Amino acid sequence: MVIKYFNIINNMINTNKGLAQDRKLSNNAAHLTAGTLRGAGEDVIDYSREEAAVDIELLKKSRVVITGCGGFYEGAQMLVRCGVGEIIVIDPDVVDNTNLCRQGYLPRQVGMNKVDAMGECLKQINPAVKFKGYAVKLQDLTPEQEEEIFSTAAVAIFTTDSFAAQAYGNKIVLKYQIPAIWAGFGEASLFSEIFFYIPGVTPACFRCATSTRYEINEEFVAKHGKEYHASSAGNTIFHSALLDAQMGMLIMAILHNKVDGKSFSGWFGDYFDHNFIHTKVNPMGHKEGFDKTFAGVKDVFVFHSRWQHINREIPPKYPTPCPDCCGTDVAQ
């Protein structure tokens, strides 16, 4: 692993976390929010301007599941505008005042479950979108809910500040064999990271690619008795929007990988199985890695990306196989 320390922050840490925690739902059972909305309205969006890029009917039939609806708030909106027909979000937090400068929530939504607030917004963009929100931690979904949500998901997105949730997501996508994306910022938001998994296409699972962070998290829990939550220092809504747009492009490419004739068609295959993307969002971001990649180039680069191929963790390079995927493509 190139990076030893990863801030899976996705721009959404509440500095006012205590307040949010107090207002959180206390029940452990997965709670379908009062604001649950199903697609019942009319889709009046004319998608003709994007038909060269995407298959509208495919998008309308696609379910995207988002765990953590803070930093990916803008991304969810973009998915709905683009034509994605079904969005499911899982997030136990409520909207607080610290979210207003970096996430798309409105002052009147402070105190609401984030999933409800997001549902309101998405239904305003397209009343026909199917939406469900679960105001619980990913790990607290019941097995039945987990299966209902993920077994038919087209893509799963993990953008939480909770490493435990990100790690649990890996087990889910391996189990149901669905494409997935994990994303966040590192090093005081000087650069961003996206790891993605496409069953049968990409070579490693999330745990293979981030095993050193599993160790760091385990050490933190052992030392402090609580889960590690990364800092969002230096993060603004512009950071979120940049990363969300990149993730949105990847989601489109994943959905269209086996569809011909669109600009998002055929991005991934035997010839291109890179699965870990770093993007410099500040000229000083992740300097060592980018300097190595662009050695000898005199221009100053920013907003550019470095795509890596991360292999599975299996012997002989590693002493033991990755505990989650065991060096295979399925959950262990």
Which C-beta is closer to Zn ion: that of 87 or that of 205? 205
Only segment of 38-46, 90-98, 205-213, 274-282 that touches Zn ion (CB under 5 A): 205-213
Q: Does 325 bind Zn ion (CB under 5 A)?
A: yes
Q: Where are the beta strands (DSSP E) in 36-186?
A: 63-67, 86-90, 130-134, 155-158, 180-186
> If binding means CB under 5 A, how many residues of this protein chain bind Zn ion?
6
Which amino acid makes up residue 178? Answer: I
Site residues for Zn ion, 207-266, by CB under 5 A, read 207-208
Which C-beta is closer to Zn ion: that of 275 or that of 279? 275
Please report how close the Cβ of residue 312 comes to Zn ion at its closest, in angstroms. 6
Site residues for Zn ion, 21-60, by CB under 5 A, read none
Kindly provide the b/e burial profile for residues 152-189, where b requires at least 16 CB atoms within 10 angstroms of the residue's own CB.
ebbbbbbbbbbbbbbbbbbbbbbbbebbbbbbbbbbeb
Which C-beta is closer to Zn ion: that of 110 or that of 314? 314
Which C-beta is closer to Zn ion: that of 133 or that of 169? 169
CB nearest Zn ion: which residue? 322
Q: Does 102 bind Zn ion (CB under 5 A)?
A: no
Q: Does 180 bind Zn ion (CB under 5 A)?
A: no
Q: Do 73 and 50 contact (CB within 8 A), yes or no?
A: no
Angle (deg, nearest 10), helices 73-82 and 237-255 = 40
Which C-beta is closer to Zn ion: that of 126 or that of 211? 211
Only segment of 9-17, 119-127, 129-137, 200-208 that touches Zn ion (CB under 5 A): 200-208
SS3 269: strand
Contacts (Cβ under 8 Å, ≥6 apart) of 263: 52, 53
Distance CA 288, CA 319 (A): 27
Binding site for Zn ion (CB under 5 A): 205, 207-208, 322, 324-325
